Amino acid sequence: MGQFSEEIRKRRTFAIISHPDAGKTTLTEKLLLFGGAIHVAGAVKSNKIKKTATSDWMEIEKQRGISVATSVMGFNYDGYKVNILDTPGHQDFAEDTFRTLTAVDSVIIVVDIAKGVEAQTRKLMEVCRMRKTPVIVFVNKLDRDGKDPFDLLDEIEEELKINVRPLSWPIDMGQRFKGVYNIFEKKLDLYTPSKQFVTESVQFNDINNPELEGHIGNELAQQLRADIELIEGVYPEFDVNTYLNGDIAPVFFGSALNNFGVKELLDCFVRIAPSPRAIQAIEREVDSEEDAFSGFVFKIHANMDPNHRSCIAFVKICSGRFERNANYKHVRFGKNMRFSSPTAFMAQKKETVDEAFAGDIIGLPDTGNFKIGDSLTGGENLHFKGLPSFSPEMFKYIENADPMKTKQLQKGVDQLMDEGVAQVFVNQFNGRKIIGTVGQLQFEVIQYRLLHEYGAQCKWEPISLYKACWIESENLEMLASFKKRKSQYMALDKDGRDVYLADSGYVLMMAQQDFPDIKFHFTSEF
């Protein structure tokens, strides 16, 4: 057992994922409220006050009401140190979310009772399944009418391909919503609309006790008993280990906006969720409780603070303890670096930290030393894998709209691309820059941020391309003839690797047939 084991076992690092509008940011905020990290919920909207959610701090997010960047927030609760990563639900930012999932130990999925499981959530669940990440489901918006809870559970099992086990159960919904029965703690939590907390919570070990009628009336009491009997009959006993192995997902019901069912979720979560786990590096498995420090960069964010033009590299600590001003090895450069002002986050407020432990996420000021996927260690050469850039599906030429601001545009594009918002390819035929993204919205975000953060104006010009693929081959002759034949469609990515820009699916298929020795890759990690 390492000397920091006790600290590390208190850590609970997780991401909240969902479809846009399922209420993810609201849930994040309510969790922060319980952690005492914020004192007023951003959802307070009246004519006089309008606070925006704590975790959405970029201008464009405030205007659009969606989370674009992943933000990191930490708080203490009940003796545990909880780190939340709020991810963008909007599918145009899926890539950011995929990367975030490499930095967490477990996940909470938010599902809207009315809409059920949506396409985006399915994709993210595949990543969790691949990595065996434990998942808890929170069914939100019970203060509105929605699907029958049993139907919804079937849908979750079918769509997300995971077994579920309800640990709380709703008593009616919508206008008639009475509360939930907390199966995990055997409690009855009654709901009163418009209140900001669980109004009354009654310990209720035996659901057949006739006192139940006194709380929720005859009809609902009978219904609840029938439901619970069905649950106990259909679903296996809840076992923490099956959850930790990623084989079963506990389900909670509530309404994040009305702050109902959130505390129950949090109480159960800190008890059963995994503390930081061992992480597989290319060289060996790294146990979180080892004494030596190690970590990797999973995200880079430009301009956390508009007054200082600096980037911040988000580092997930994989093992041991990180100390301020200590020397750590930057594995790709093979040299030591020290960090005098590492920060921890509370949404926008960041504070300098003296130490952090495995499971924590810290921000290191970055002047261009880091790329996504870089490792930092106490001296050992470790490489952490699994941080892909996906092949973009939308492309535009980026042009400078203001010749006086060429330098600003150049710098802005470089920094935003390092952040992994999108990818830049330089066409080798005409030297023009092409930006590739996974979604349309990213073009707007890039244009907006270039203007507001770098003072550079860009304009987009259409280009019709189908996919970008990284190519490599041991057959150098074939590679050379491919590049010659496709010279108009060859580009370099920001690391100088060859990328083939196929203009249609058919052309790509023919190229794969005509040049059998060339490997075409659709993620940058190969």
Residue 64 and residue 96: Cα distance in Å, rounded? 18
CATH tag, 14-71+92-98+105-272: 3.40.50.300
For the chain, which residues score pLDDT lower than 50?
A: 39-52, 57, 60, 64-70, 92, 347-348, 526
pLDDT of residue 264: 85
pLDDT tens column, 472-495: 899 999 999 999 999 899 999 888
- Using CA atoms of 255, 260, 265, 270 in order, give the dihedral in degrees to the nearest 10: 130
pLDDT of residue 341: 83
pLDDT of residue 461: 92
| 14-71+92-98+105-272 and 279-377: identical CATH topology | yes
CATH tag, 394-521: 3.30.70.3280
Q: What is the DSSP string of 391-416?
A: PPSEEEEEEES-GGGHHHHHHHHHHH
pLDDT of residue 289: 85
Superfamily of domain 279-377: P-loop containing nucleotide triphosphate hydrolases (3.40.50.300)
pLDDT of residue 350: 63
Q: What's the pTM?
A: 0.74
C-beta contacts of 309-312 below 8 A and 24+ residues apart = 309/453, 310/365, 310/366, 310/367, 311/365, 311/366, 311/367, 311/368, 311/370, 311/415, 311/418, 311/419, 312/343, 312/363, 312/364, 312/365, 312/366
CB 187 within 8 A of CB 206: no
Return all residues near 278 (Cβ < 8 A) that are at least 6 apart: 285, 286, 287, 288
pLDDT of residue 491: 93
Domain ranges of the chain: 14-71+92-98+105-272, 279-377, 394-521
Residue positions counted in the chain: 526
pLDDT of residue 172: 80
